[in-house]
Amino acid sequence: MSANNQNVYLKATRYGKDLVRLLRVYREGQTQRCTELTVRLLLDGDIETSYTRADNSVVVTTDTCKNTVNMIAKRSQNVDNIELFAQEITEHVLKQYAHISHAYVDIIKHKWSRLNVDGKPHPHSFVRDGSEVQTCSVVQERAGNKITVKSGLKNLLVLKTTGSAFHGFYRDQYTTLADTWDRIFSTSVESEWTFVAHDANVLRYVNFPAIHDSVKTITTDTFAKDESASVQATMYLMQTQILAKHPEVAEISYALPNKHYVGMDLSKLGLENSGANTEVYHPQADPSGLITATVARKPASKL
């Protein structure tokens, strides 16, 4: 039985393979390095009939998508440079399949750091020394060969025990939060930045790893040094510094959940643990504040 489709239309399509896991090892003499990724490859194009007419002749299978990622990982020298690796995948897809108009690649780069053994970096041993990951999202369109690149970092957990305050906020009959001039500030940083260029010939020469390292450094340095009046103010300071330093970046977004640590009431135990004497805190899993912002460059003025 077919549904009455006279009053509906296929508005959007996208399909492919998600959660493609791979570890790429580079053997360079006595020293080796490795990169672990989780990749998603999605396609769109002249594929409507696979939905509307059960016509599979236009379907590049999701298994083919998985094989494509693994094949390019074997051939590429850029797997650790995830923005370039993603562009290699999207470029291959558009060259290989004439009826595909858009290729979408999202990559998570998992953290492996070289172990220090006997005071020296070990040539082939690594440790997972943090939960943060690098991310990228690349979309390549056949029309105009336009490429959009976004980079990011997630799960960068930071905490400082002082140097943060929050007071002077709006109050009404529902406000119970007290002003504080000294508090613990902790958050799990999630950030994403979009690049100005859309031309493959330009994007091939962007130093994506260096910009990622710089964004992380500015984020952590600002977090540590700023006498934070609020999460909002510290976040904006991070963003404006990054845009000032990196003209390649068009805009940058942050999402900073406020990880709350609340001083415990130990008065029933005969202990003073309040105000300046607060030393024992209860980490609260939820609810948590969530502060977000995107800062972008103003459009160039037209003369």
Q: Note whether 111 and 237 are same-domain residues.
A: no
Q: Note whether 69 and 185 are same-domain residues.
A: no
Last residue of a domain, one of 92, 114, 145: 145
Last residue of a domain, one of 100, 119, 145: 145
| Owning domain of residue 224 | 153-303
Q: pLDDT tens digit string along 155-175?
A: 999 999 999 999 999 999 999
Residue 152: which of 193, 187, 112 has the closest Cα? 193
- Residue 5 forms part of a structural domain: no
Q: What is the pTM of this model?
A: 0.93
User: Any known ligand binding at 182?
Assistant: no
Distance CA 87, CA 110 (A): 19
- Residue 274 forms part of a structural domain: yes
Distance CA 121, CA 133 (A): 22
Count of the separate structural domains present in the chain: 2
Alpha carbon distances (Å) from 93 to 65, 87, 119, 132, 154? 9, 10, 45, 30, 28
Catalytic center residues: 17, 62, 260
Distance CA 217, CA 4 (A): 57
Q: Note whether 208 and 292 are same-domain residues.
A: yes
Q: pLDDT tens digit string along 266-276?
A: 999 999 999 88
- Residue 3 forms part of a structural domain: no
**pLDDT class for 301, splitting at 50, 70, 90?**
low
CATH at 71: 3.10.270.10
Q: Note whether 138 and 160 are same-domain residues.
A: no
User: Any known ligand binding at 62?
Assistant: yes
Q: How many CB atoms lie within 10 A of CB 176?
A: 6
User: Any known ligand binding at 162?
Assistant: no
pLDDT of residue 4: 62
User: Any known ligand binding at 166?
Assistant: yes
Q: Note whether 138 and 252 are same-domain residues.
A: no
Phi, psi of 107, rounded to the nearest 5 degrees: -130, 135
Residue 148: which of 101, 198, 222, 107 has the closest Cα? 198
**pLDDT class for 303, splitting at 50, 70, 90?**
low
